[in-house]
Structure 1
């Protein structure tokens, strides 16, 4: 297992950097932008190019591993090792010339994230986390920060594409927006996980979001000393649930964020 993880880390970093550089080189120079679903989500030729770089790299070195990628889907294999790939997290931002996007890979072993790599090309930031080995940004260890004035918190909001303006989500989102100092919606979820892991955000509230951009971010936060729990306070244990409702924060802010979410869901 140790040998596989070492090789996987090297490959993940290599392919993330290569795919991210291709995305940066083609930024604001796209030939194809398509709407791929009823919710207005977009896909570009760069999504496919970045995905090809990553998926081909994994397939060559680990031909027996499962790969579940944002655009190509599941490769049909069965294995304890599962790669979850989002080749261009923040495609909608990328498509309109907003430089907030990343290339994201996670490796799961028997359902648990053991490796997460996120590359943010526009500012050349590489985030890497391995289970029980810490989280790093450009080889510098990062840490979730405790805010002594948590009532003036800055948080990230993440919701799935299918949520749209679901009444319960809107109610919670509004409550958060008016009860914290700043609520951010970047439409590039992985970057918000990275911001929390390096201490730039105080928390994240996630409402029914997809898993393709989930596991790398969760591992980064956990390895940076943060907690990831569901709305009832139960630790995130992985798994393939279709829906995820999560809170991520410094351990000492757990009760504050749970109460904030509870109030948001109960009010109205």
Structure 2
């Protein structure tokens, strides 16, 4: 299954790479979002591969919604995570594919076609980048930590974002807002990032990334410190999570409590 998921991601990624930097005409441009035909075509290619091999599996994807086939297996797909980045020519986007089996995420694939980075993990088997095993870093100095902030598109206002993120910008080396969260989790997994703070955001585009980060040794909890446990996927469920390399976790979480 992991090889089929990687093949689906490659095929979609190849298409996205081919279209990248073209003059893109949006189907719809909203205040916080943009709708592109490239999203739909990436999705179509992924579903074609997955249903070609697993015709009895249900799929949920960002554009098409649910394609109901069976109860045990559910593929959770974001065919273009970072659509706004893609639209403006910023090369930080990916294809994200996760598989939920009986309510538990058992594999995840995130593919960055620009850098030919294939991140993947199977539950209990570690996390990998292009075949090389990944692990989080051991940084302990908060002042040298680099993190990212992920917020729900419609659940957090820009004013709330500014107030909440100010301490992180002042007390850590850098807080980035990449607006491509699937890749953020993979950068944490490979030791390139030190922490992630996620506020009232959906799980769909990060389900694969969370598993990849966990399999690389990342600490993932809710804001109160309770260990993260994937719940059976629902489209309207929002999560506020903190993830880190481990040594920095309580310091980051304390900052969240002070900012909330």
1:75 aligns with 2:67: yes
Question: Which of residues 4, 19, 23 in structure 1 aligns to 2:16?
Answer: 23
Q: Which moved more, 1:25-34 or 1:48-57?
A: 25-34
Say if 2:99 and 2:106, in contact at 8 Å, map to a contact too: yes
Question: Which of residues 243, 247, 260 in structure 2 aligns to 1:248?
Answer: 243
Partner residue, 1:172: 164
Deviations 1:76-97 (A, max 9, x none): 3441211100111111010111
Say if 1:229 and 1:235, in contact at 8 Å, map to a contact too: yes
Cα distance change, pair 170–78 in 1 and its aligned pair in 2 (3 A): farther
Question: Which of residues 120, 123, 129 in structure 2 aligns to 1:131?
Answer: 123
> By how many angstroms is 1:35 displaced?
2.8
Question: 2: CA distance between counterparts of 1:68 and 1:32?
Answer: 25
Structure 2 runs not aligned, ≥5 long: none
Question: Which of residues 242, 245, 260 in structure 1 aligns to 2:255?
Answer: 260
Structure-1-length-normalised TM-score: 0.91
Partner residue, 1:66: 58
Cα distance change, pair 204–63 in 1 and its aligned pair in 2 (3 A): same
Q: What is the root-mean-square deviation of aligned Cα atoms in Å?
A: 1.6
Question: 1: CA distance between counterparts of 2:23 and 2:8?
Answer: 21
> By how many angstroms is 1:181 displaced?
1.0
Structure-2-length-normalised TM-score: 0.94
Q: Which moved more, 1:85-94 or 1:144-153?
A: 144-153
Say if 2:55 and 2:69, in contact at 8 Å, map to a contact too: no
Q: Which moved more, 1:70-79 or 1:95-104?
A: 70-79
Structure 1 runs not aligned, ≥5 long: 1-7
Question: 1: CA distance between counterparts of 2:252 and 2:242?
Answer: 7
Say if 2:13 and 2:42, in contact at 8 Å, map to a contact too: yes
Partner residue, 2:113: 121
Question: 2: CA distance between counterparts of 1:220 and 1:10?
Answer: 15
Instruction: Map 1:140-155 onto structure 2 (within 5 A).
Output: 140-155=132-147
Deviations 1:209-258 (A, max 9, x none): 11221111100110001111000111111114611000001222221111
SS in structure 2 opposite 1:29? coil
Alignment: residue pair count? 257
SS in structure 1 opposite 2:201? coil
Partner residue, 2:28: 35
SS in structure 2 opposite 1:144? coil
Question: Which of residues 191, 194, 206 in structure 1 aligns to 2:198?
Answer: 206
Runs of 4+ in 1 over 6 A off after TM superposition: none
Question: 2: CA distance between counterparts of 1:191 and 1:134?
Answer: 17
